[in-house]
Structure 1
Amino acid sequence: MTLLVVDRLNKRFGGVFAARDVSFTLAAGEMLAIIGPNGAGKSTTFNMVGGQLKPDSGSITLDGQAITGRPARAVWRCGVGRTFQVAQTFVSMSVAENVQMALVSRHGESRRLFADTRRLHREAALALLAEVGMRAEADRPVSELAYGDVKRVELAVALASQPKLLLMDEPTAGMAPRERGGLMTLTARLARERGIGVLYTEHDMEAVFGHADRVMVLVRGEIIAAGSPDHVRGDARVRQVYLGEAGTAAALKARRKAVA
């Protein structure tokens, strides 16, 4: 089932096109990675979908509902969750309390924050933490966690809003190599089980070619290639623009070995 339809998005900053006629779709349960060199328009496209930027033209439809140009909070209310390149958590709170806060927000119960937060939606928070492998750490302060575990807590926080679409900005940034694969495998499993569409930007090619169902490549605001990981990885223009002509064969061989 098609969940997200992005049609001919355009965004200019001064005389520079950050996004030019960007169009793509995303199905429920699918993982779509956006890659490209610095300044390619990845963040601009990402932020237009998430409501942080308003497109100059074009449309965005989520599950049949137009969300083009709506502010980020309204987009969140429509079913869009998000994680960030630098994990956004309350480090002074416990792991469980972070998720409980997200559940309080989802239920529109902000007035109840004057009560004892530790008793609000406790069981639901523990269930979400179990899904991301953090149930045993529920009562630890987030400040004591390894960064890879903080990323898992952030994922649980995002899931608390029961999103239809999950936006992940550089999900493996700052993580140790051994932790990256685990987070992306977990995300892919949860996406399939819950029918969540996942749109993510990433510089780590193993996280892209090893876990995405489809890959989209942006250069100077335009899509130059899109399709399966194998299709995109073998595209001559992608190799030239993204990897560079010099050493292209060696670089491609190394990347293929990394994700084999």
Structure 2
Amino acid sequence: MTLLTVTGLHKSFGGVVAARDVSFTVARGEMLAIIGPNGAGKSTVFNMVGGQLGPDRGQVLIDGQDITHASPQARFRGGVGRTFQVAQTFLSMSAAENVQMALISRFRQSRGLWTPARERHRAGAVDLLAQVGMAEAADMPCSALAYGDVKRVELAIALAGQPKLLLMDEPTAGMAPQERAALMDLTASIAASQGIGVLFTEHDMDVVFGHAARVIVLLRGQIIAAGTPDEIRQDPQVRRAYLGDSHALEPSQGTGPA
């Protein structure tokens, strides 16, 4: 079933067209990757879906509801979660406290607190940390965690909003290869079990081809190809524009859905 429908997104900055008539869908439980060379328009499209940028024209629908001009905060409360290229956590706070703050925001309890924030949603926060394999680190400050573990905490923060759609901007940036695969395996498992659609950008082609069900390729703001990882590997235009020949020799053998 279609969850996200993006139709005709267009965005210009002065005389530069960053996105031109971009249209695609994401189904429940599906992982869709957006790839392309630097300057292709990936961040522009991603931020229009997330609400950080407004399109000049076009439409973004979640479950048929128009969110084209909704704020990022309204999208969060409407079921759009996000992680960032550089993990966004409060380093001086514990892993549990970071997730508790997301839960407080979700339930709109940030004003008029009559009890200390650390006493609210503690059990729910630990449950979310358990989903990402971080329950034992609940009381550790994020500043003391390895970066790969911080990315897992950030995923738990995103899940605190009970997202229908999860946006992941360069989710494995700064991580070791083994950590990358583990994080994306975890994300794929959660997405499949909870029916969450995942839209992600990524430069690591092993991550893309190993975990995306479908891939769209942008070049100069336009989609030049869309299909399964193996179809994208073999697309002559994509190979010329972006991949070269190193990723077009064999079908993908990743551990996630392909």
TM-score normalised by the shorter chain: which range applies?
over 0.9
State the number of aligned residues: 255
Instruction: Report if aligned partners of 2:230, 2:252 keep a CA contact under 8 Å in 1.
Output: no
- Which structure features the higher share of helix residues? 1
218 and 253 in structure 1: CA distance in 2 versus 1, 3 angstrom threshold: closer
The counterpart of 2:247, out of the listed 237, 252, 255, is 252
Deviation at 1:254, TM superposition (A): 7.4
C-alpha distance in 2 between matches for 1:259 and 1:76: 31
Aligned to 1:106: 106
1:200 aligned to 2:195? no
Secondary structure, aligned partner of 1:241: helix
- Residue 5 of structure 1 aligns with an amino acid whose one-letter code is T
Secondary structure, aligned partner of 1:252: coil
In the alignment, structure 1 segments of 5+ residues that lack a partner are none
Aligned to 1:221: 221
C-alpha distance in 1 between matches for 2:123 and 2:204: 35
List per-residue Cα deviations over 1:12-44 (Å, max 9, x = no partner).
111111000000000010000000000000000
Aligned to 1:94: 94
Give the TM-score, by structure 2 length.
0.95
List per-residue Cα deviations over 1:205-232 (Å, max 9, x = no partner).
1110000000000000000000111111
1:130 aligned to 2:130? yes
Deviation at 1:119, TM superposition (A): 1.5
- Residue 21 of structure 1 aligns with an amino acid whose one-letter code is D
- Residue 156 of structure 2 aligns with an amino acid whose one-letter code is A
C-alpha distance in 1 between matches for 2:184 and 2:30: 13
List per-residue Cα deviations over 1:111-151 (Å, max 9, x = no partner).
35563222111111111000000001001111000000000
C-alpha distance in 2 between matches for 1:9 and 1:194: 28
1:238 aligned to 2:233? no
Secondary structure, aligned partner of 2:34: strand
Deviation at 1:258, TM superposition (A): 7.7
Instruction: Report if aligned partners of 1:215, 1:229 keep a CA contact under 8 Å in 2.
Output: yes
List per-residue Cα deviations over 1:91-130 (Å, max 9, x = no partner).
0001111001110110111135563222111111111000
Percent of aligned pairs sharing the same letter: 66
Secondary structure, aligned partner of 1:3: strand
Aligned to 2:21: 21
In the alignment, structure 2 segments of 5+ residues that lack a partner are none
Instruction: Report if aligned partners of 1:205, 1:255 keep a CA contact under 8 Å in 2.
Output: no
1:1-260 to 2 correspondences below 5 Å: 1-111=1-111, 113=113, 115-243=115-243, 248-249=244-245, 251-252=246-247, 259=254
Instruction: Report if aligned partners of 2:229, 2:252 keep a CA contact under 8 Å in 1.
Output: no
C-alpha distance in 2 between matches for 1:13 and 1:255: 39
C-alpha distance in 2 between matches for 1:170 and 1:50: 14
- Residue 110 of structure 2 aligns with an amino acid whose one-letter code is S
- Residue 53 of structure 1 aligns with an amino acid whose one-letter code is L
- Larger mean CA deviation between 165-174 and 76-85 belongs to 76-85
Deviation at 1:77, TM superposition (A): 2.0
- Residue 17 of structure 1 aligns with an amino acid whose one-letter code is V
